[in-house]
Chain A
Amino acid sequence: MNIPINFFMWGLACLPIIVLLVLMIKFQWGATEAAPVGLVITVITGLVFYKADIRLIVSEGAKGIWNALTILLIVWTAVLMYQVGSEAKAFSVIRDGMRKLLPNELLLVLTMGWIFESFLQGITGFGVPVAVGAPLLIGIGVKPMWAVIIPLLGQSWGNTFGTLGAAWDALAMSAGLTAGSKEYLATAFCTAAFIWFWNIIDGMVICWFYGKGKAIKKGILPVMFISLIQGGGELLLTQVNTTIACFVPACISLVAVLLLGQMKPYKKDWCVEESQIMDRTFAGQSADDKPEGMTLIHAFVPYFLLSAITLIVLVVKPVNTFLSQFQIGLAFPETQTGYGYVNEATECFSPLSPFTHASMFLLLSSLIGLVYYKKKGWIKNGGVKGVFVRSVSMTMPSGIAVIGLVIMSKVMAGTGQTVVLANGIANVLGKVYVVLSPFVGLLGSFMTGSNMSSNILFGGFQTTTAGLLEVDPSVILGAQSSGGSIGSAVSPSNIILGTTTADILGNEGKVLKKIIVITVPVAIAIGVLAFAAVSL
């Protein structure tokens, strides 16, 4: 590759991201409108300045559509699951039941917005915690915008070792780390340590959002306790088994918070009346509307099914091996830019395993839940049709935005813009680059919507840069993946999942504005910690 890495080319590579941010944050455009503009800029830059041909652009575009479809399958099925619960009026039961179980409202918000999302992230990931969590929070009276922001933050710490360690495996693969080696364990340790820091911030920020100083005071002990289980547990488990390093602590934290809710300081009614995130006028479905005989366990049936199906398929090895053999992938030819940047040919690009994909678990849980509620008489005649009609009308608008964003990231990567972007930062900054190394991971997740993709995209680059700067690659890779984990909270394609299920599509800019002021400083703080670690 001989793309000139200069300020002009670097600026051009930055341009689509800057335009996207400005349109969404400053002008409050929805992602459905902003993403196509970013895409147009990326395509023009690729064709004119990065010397790509139309064949390369359409090839990367088609790869983007294929990747976007795998994300959209999750959105569609998560919305279907939400609509099943909504039609059966299960959310009013969940709201009342969880309020009884956790009378402390702060603990309730932490459970429904952070701990339950961590559990979902541990097994499913790919945005499912955001899509599923937002309507659950609305169900307990959280305002829709906050119901999107909180799960985005709550799930993000689990992105590297969640989904049974998928993003971590991608980092190890792209950085050439051998499982069990000294470098592998050191990198896992650094990554988990940085993520623990973010995990504490997550909990504290949710408390702050809920009730500022009052909530911090009330919530500091539960947050530290839960974070010790989640972040500390993950840190320990990375040295034993990275596949379950997030899932096991997330499950334990779910049990722990329910026990915590029965302890003296937390078992009484407590709330911050003037909380900015709660809608005090919210009644949801009225008590009279509550389906007769439905208990909290009944209301959670689709979620129990989701957890059980996911666990069986992903953790039971023979089942997983059998179902994983069915794969659908597409062949793509080799393409090359005028600067010699090559995208190698592939026989089976990004294969989709339909039976082990999160959307299949969501679909099965939703359909079984639908049949179950119908049999119990909680879904009336005509309700089933309503569930599907509303699901389609709710999900279609998000499709365009997700496709636009994923194509944009593919075209940027395929034309060499992503490499120039990262190389430019490293070349200019020298050793100070270490401070910004998590920011590169964050950028990768922002663009692709996935910590795993960020690690694939930048894992090799971070290792090379660490070598050039003669610093410990374990620290840099840890910063990369923790930055990627943080970046999943600001990724527009993840935000859209939440705004879709919370029914506030078009408000992605407002959500992004609230989260970006937390994530960027934390990424830089992790960078400072990394700099201190390599300077020791």
Chain B
Amino acid sequence: MTEREGVSVEEKSFFQTRAGGLTIAFLVIMAAFAVIMAGLSGGNDGLCTAGFIMIGAAMLYSPVKVHLYDRLKKK
């Protein structure tokens, strides 16, 4: 792996790599999780909906990037 990848990760700036992008998506999901739990315990449907949208966006980051954005960019 890994040494090669490890070095490239360190050189390239982590958040510019695919792993970095997915890390951001993961952090968004964790934030959405907190928002949803707050919404569920307080009976606040607005917060639940906001969390739902955040999860949707973060989950779709990878398929949209790989199978839409990158392909359109190539064309």
Q: Which residues of A contact B (CB under 8 A)?
A: 29, 32-37, 39-40, 54-55, 57-59, 61-62, 65-66, 83, 86, 330-333, 386, 389-390, 392-394, 396-397, 399-400, 403-404, 407, 503
Contacts and interface: CB of A to CB of B under 8 A. Distances in A.
Contact of B52 (A33, A54, A403, A503): A54
Contacts, number: 108
Contact of A331 (B6, B19, B23, B41): B41
B26 A400 contact: yes
19 contacts: A33-B66, A36-B60, A39-B59, A40-B59, A54-B48, A54-B49, A65-B30, A65-B33, A83-B2, A330-B37, A332-B40, A333-B40, A333-B43, A389-B10, A393-B19, A394-B19, A396-B23, A400-B22, A400-B25
Interface residues of B, number: 40
Given A33-B63, A392-B23, 16 more contacts: A33-B67, A40-B60, A55-B40, A58-B48, A62-B40, A62-B51, A66-B33, A86-B2, A331-B41, A392-B14, A392-B19, A393-B17, A393-B19, A397-B18, A397-B19, A400-B58
A61 B52 contact: yes
A396 B22 contact: yes
Contact of B22 (A32, A35, A330): A32
A36 B18 CA distance: 17
A491 to B, nearest CB: 19
A400 B62 CA distance: 9
Interface string B39-61: 11101010011011001101111
Contacts of A57: 52
Interface of B: 1-3, 5-6, 9-10, 14, 17-20, 22-23, 25-26, 29-30, 33, 36-37, 39-41, 43, 45, 48-49, 51-52, 55-56, 58-63, 66-67
Contacts of B36: 58-59, 61-62
8 A-B pairs with the lowest CB-CB distances in the bound complex, closest first: A503-B1, A36-B59, A390-B6, A33-B63, A396-B23, A393-B19, A58-B48, A399-B26
Nearest to B55: A61
B67 to A, nearest CB: 6
Contacts of A33: 62-63, 66-67
Nearest to B62: A32
